[in-house]
Copies of this chain bind each other. A is one copy, B any other.
Amino acid sequence: MEIDGTVRATEKSHRGFELALAGARVVSRAAVPLPLGVVDKVGADLNTRLDHRVLDLRKPAVRAIFELRSALLAGFREAFLHRGFVEVETPKLLRQGAEGGATLFSVAYFDRPAYLAQSPQLYKQMLIGAGLERVFEIAPAFRAEPSDTVRHITEFTSLDAEVGYVDDPEELRGLLEGIVADSVGATRSVLEASGNPLAAGLPRLELPFPRYSFATCEGWLGRPGAGRDFGTEEEKAIGERVARESGAPFYFLTDYPTSVKAATFYARRRDDDPGSTYYFDLDFRGLEIASGGLREHRLDPLLANLASAGLDPGSFAGYLEAFRYGMPPHGGWGLGIDRLVQALAGLANIRESRLFPRDRYRLDP
């Protein structure tokens, strides 16, 4: 409705003023009853909410998530551009998948198949070879994830960065923690200015974030030297231990062993210890948010890693060409925007972090 009137002071209202109606006009009529209450005290289940997402989004508490999300994206972009990064857009339609096929969506591309990108990994590395020394991308990525849990969606937003002429993963961690701290700080400023209630839940971050080695965490879990990746429950246990150790919400897990990264053929093995890598994760209170490290920039070890992973070099011709004609040492990371929004807004299900989430069973609305 459009309403005309005069605001005047009154003691009858607890806000101290009232609107004296002069005229009113119906802008658009709504059918009744609504399939989902907008002001109900009792919450609907998530499936019903997502079935009627437009009405669900009319609740201020739901809309607040997406104001946070927009501010966070803007904060990230500003932090990257301020550090001399160029924003890039890599292709989402690929002839091959980056890292193997089981979770790729296939597309009927005229008279042949194509695949939807799961990650811009190979392209962002190629751009380092092209001489764009610092690149980032925030874009959709796709994973044919058959699991139906609170952690799995098929369409997600990936924040990727790659940096050339880097020889020490500590330089990457320093960049990443600075960018995260700046982005979260900028988000808080925007949300505080607009009165968004989620501002209060945003952590105040101190640099540097603490670092714990993979081996230290394995010791905490009582399985020293096992050399296998942490499961969801183990990540949570590590998060609880870190909370007691330092109280820091964000922390790095460093020095991942090669055994955990065997399929990550582009991960550089340590020069002084091939059983370990220069890879790390960034976690937030037990939830993995980002993963990155130094990449293998030398063609021969890269081909050896491909062979170890059982992958066909012929499927990576364009990627490998970039390494054949000169490639500096480089590294970077990928960060899940949906997970970070979930963490910062305190959401139980990752679907709540997206306007119109997609999963194994949901393509509507």
Contact = CB atoms under 8 A, between A and B. Distances in A.
A338 to B, nearest CB: 10
Contacts of A318: 54, 364-365
Interface string A133-172: 0000001101010100000001101000000010000000
A107 B106 contact: yes
A363 interface: yes
A287 interface: no
A123 interface: yes
Interface in A201-229: none
Contact of A116 (B91, B107, B110): B107
Contacts of A246: none
A15 interface: no
A66 B363 contact: no
Given A108-B105, A326-B28, A63 B130 contact: yes
B107 A105 contact: yes
Contact of A131 (B58, B81, B106, B328): B58
Contacts of A355: 88-91, 123, 127
Contacts of A298: 28
Given A28-B297, A144-B110, A93 B154 contact: yes
A308 B40 CA distance: 39
A365 B63 contact: no
Interface size class of A (residues with CB under 8 A): 35 or more
A54 B91 contact: no
A363 B28 contact: no
A263 interface: no
A321 B54 contact: yes
A365 B106 contact: no
A126 to B, nearest CB: 5
Given A57-B130, A106-B108, A81 B74 contact: yes
Interface of A: 27-31, 34-35, 52-58, 63, 66-67, 69-70, 73-74, 77, 81, 86-95, 105-110, 112, 114, 116, 123, 126-127, 129-132, 139-140, 142, 144, 146, 154-155, 157, 165, 297-298, 317-319, 321-322, 324-329, 354-356, 358, 360, 363-365
Given A89-B354, A93-B358, 10 more contacts: A35-B325, A56-B130, A66-B88, A70-B86, A92-B92, A109-B144, A110-B360, A317-B364, A318-B364, A318-B365
